[in-house]
Chains A and B, each alone.
Chain A
Amino acid sequence: MNRASNQAFVALFERDLYVTFRKDLIPFLSQSLLQPIFFLFVFGRVLPEIGAARGSYGIALLPGVLALTLMLTALQNVALPLVIEFSFTKEIEDRLLAPLPVTWVAGEKLLIAALRGILGGILIIPLGELILPGGVDLSNASWIGLVAMIVIGALAGACVGLVHGTAVPPSRITIAFGLILTPFIYTGATFYPWESLDGLRWFQVVTLANPMTYVSEGMRGALTDQPHMAAGWVALGLVVSLAVFGFLGVRGFTRRAVD
């Protein structure tokens, strides 16, 4: 039984890799990169050029945009397909009847979405080099920290997406995406270091509920020597985020999968 389930898991993953790379690559990359490209361009280049921001703002921006891209790509690549597959195309059924536990099907969804997030996120680095006036300086980067933040950030995004994709009724999906994504994007310490919110205490506290805050801050620590949240707090935030959203997401998936 376990062997059959392992084979099924691998085969599901293979199918998703095949679709990602052979069928879906261009639409997928444009969907995940368009918004970050504009963030980098407008905040990192246009604003400094017209004097609305300091020239170094781009350097401060990159870790946040990287975190945002990772998480948002992973999130959208699990939430949106899930809603469609459960309600409209029913494609999920062939997976749910494959010889593996339902929770594994959810796990595989998380894995492929995280992978897509990683793919999108990594491309932000060369894009930053192209777009930002000062380019990207990785001389102070901690490579282990960077890799860890990329992988964990993408997984956390996928978990949030799983909650999102299974909690929202299909008829509400368009409005829900707007209502949830917008605050998610703007409360994640993307465009400013978390510490700099000291003067806006209530907002600083609110942002602690957003898993992206920890990914952005961790990324800031890994990539730059800017001020950032202490590594211990980042790690704690990430562990709690993964546990809470992972649990809620898998539970939500199981409830949708079995009536």
Chain B
Amino acid sequence: MSGAALVEVAGLHKRYLAHGPEAVAGIDFSIVEGEIFGLLGPNGAGKTTTIGAITTRVKPSAGLVTVDGFDVARDAVSVKQRIAVIPQRPNLDRSLTAIENLVFHAAYFGEPRRTRRRRAEEMLERMGLEGRADDKVDTYSGGMAQRLMIARALMHEPRLLILDEPTTVLDPQSRLFLWDTMTDLRERGVTLMLTTHDMVEADRLCDRIAVVDHGTIIALDTPRGLRSLLPAERGVEVTVAGAQPLELPGGDGVESVEGRVEEDRWHGRVYGDVTAARLAELVRAADRDLIELRRMEGTLEDVFVHLTGRELR
């Protein structure tokens, strides 16, 4: 990634109770303007605490956090002007209707009276809530409440949008909608940070991912970079017509082969430094029909197990 850092977290520690354990035990990272940055880790890893430190809601025990150059501890108001948060649990204003939630939020951020309502209507429409503008928010389903919170967050055009486990409680359709929304926002130049314990989500959305466990970052890279940490998962997966195994001469970086037959096809997992192109040549040389050829990259789930020796959930 290139570009300037929008968020800098340096040496962050947080201990909630004087003699309790550290919820965050020394975290450093930066978020580059325009990227989608993920914090991936199991429950209790310290993700929400880290978000709290960025959003002025948690006072660090040690360390420095800045947003757009403003120190969170010393210039909280400037930080709050630049960020928006979609929390783990809904926090909508239950005394108000949906559109009133947006209108008043905009007012908190100094949006002129003339334009508040129109902007709110546009935002509701963008989030597919236009028919429900005047409903009280406690009649909203979980997915709708979240879309409303996103609409609210966008009312003041934040530079950084933070989502804490946004898809944990969503049905598949709302989840896809959210993913599309996040990708769309990123294209409009909004920087995003999300926490998740969902590998597929992290893999699909994030430009970079910090894997956190027990309050520390144990790896930080692109999804592809993280997967390449898996030694055994380097290789190529190949499917050819015909039940007999593919003959592979030695060399070419092949370390081992696992094969199986399925309905007159042979599937092989060829481990080692062998390239897909070289394998395609070998298939042709053996005079076999190539059906599928795929580089194996492993899943982030495997990466997590590899790094910590534990399942993620």
By a beta-carbon cutoff of 8 Å, the part of chain A in contact with chain B is 1, 3-5, 7-8, 11-12, 14-15, 18-19, 23-24, 89-102, 257-259
Query: With a CB–CB cut-off of 8 A, which chain A residues contact B52?
Result: 259
B91 touches A89 (CB 8 A): yes
B77 touches A95 (CB 8 A): no
Query: With a CB–CB cut-off of 8 A, which chain B residues contact A8?
Result: 108-110
Known: A89-B94, A259-B16, A259-B52. A94 touches B78 (CB 8 A): no
Closest to B156 in A: A99
Q: Identify 13 new A-B residue pairs, CB closer than 8 A, beyond the known A98-B108, A258-B57, A259-B57.
A: A8-B109, A12-B108, A24-B95, A91-B93, A91-B94, A92-B91, A95-B108, A96-B57, A97-B55, A97-B85, A99-B77, A258-B59, A259-B58
A19 touches B96 (CB 8 A): yes
The B interface, classified by DSSP as helix, strand, loop or mixed, is: loop
Query: With a CB–CB cut-off of 8 A, which chain B residues contact A12?
Result: 108
In residues 5-64 of chain B, which contact A (Cβ within 8 Å)? Answer: 16, 52, 55-59
Chain A's nearest CB lies how many Å from the CB of B206?
24
B91 touches A94 (CB 8 A): yes
B108 touches A11 (CB 8 A): yes
Closest to B59 in A: A258
A101 touches B91 (CB 8 A): no
Asked if B205 is at the interface of the complex by the 8 Å CB criterion, the answer is no
B95 touches A23 (CB 8 A): yes
Chain A's nearest CB lies how many Å from the CB of B52?
6
Chain A's nearest CB lies how many Å from the CB of B151?
13
B77 touches A257 (CB 8 A): no
Asked if B147 is at the interface of the complex by the 8 Å CB criterion, the answer is no
Query: With a CB–CB cut-off of 8 A, which chain A residues contact B16?
Result: 259
By a beta-carbon cutoff of 8 Å, the part of chain B in contact with chain A is 16, 52, 55-59, 75-78, 80-81, 83-85, 87, 89-96, 100, 104-105, 107-110, 152
Query: With a CB–CB cut-off of 8 A, which chain A residues contact B55?
Result: 97
Query: With a CB–CB cut-off of 8 A, which chain B residues contact A19?
Result: 95-96
B57 touches A4 (CB 8 A): no
B93 touches A94 (CB 8 A): yes
Q: Give the distance in Å from the alpha carbon of A14 to the alpha carbon of B116 in the complex.
A: 14
Known: A93-B87, A99-B109, A258-B56. A1 touches B95 (CB 8 A): no
Closest to B73 in A: A258
B91 CB contact (under 8 Å) in A7, A15, A93 = A93
Chain B's nearest CB lies how many Å from the CB of A97?
5
B76 CB contact (under 8 Å) in A15, A23, A93, A101 = A101
A99 touches B58 (CB 8 A): no
Q: Give the distance in Å from the alpha carbon of A24 to the alpha carbon of B94 in the complex.
A: 12
Closest to B55 in A: A97
Chain A's nearest CB lies how many Å from the CB of B31?
18
Closest to A104 in B: B77
Query: With a CB–CB cut-off of 8 A, which chain A residues contact B83?
Result: 97
B107 touches A100 (CB 8 A): no
A90 touches B91 (CB 8 A): yes
Closest to A92 in B: B91
Query: With a CB–CB cut-off of 8 A, which chain A residues contact B91?
Result: 89-94
A7 touches B110 (CB 8 A): yes
B81 touches A4 (CB 8 A): yes
Closest to A100 in B: B77
Closest to A96 in B: B57
Known: A90-B91, A259-B16. A1 touches B77 (CB 8 A): yes
Chain B's nearest CB lies how many Å from the CB of A11?
4
A14 touches B107 (CB 8 A): yes
Chain B's nearest CB lies how many Å from the CB of A37?
26
Known: A14-B107, A97-B85. A259 touches B56 (CB 8 A): no
A98 touches B58 (CB 8 A): no
A90 touches B95 (CB 8 A): no
Q: Give the distance in Å from the alpha carbon of A1 to the alpha carbon of B81 in the complex.
A: 9
Closest to A10 in B: B107
Q: Give the distance in Å from the alpha carbon of A93 to the alpha carbon of B164 in the complex.
A: 14
Chain A's nearest CB lies how many Å from the CB of B240?
57
Q: Give the distance in Å from the alpha carbon of A15 to the alpha carbon of B80 in the complex.
A: 19
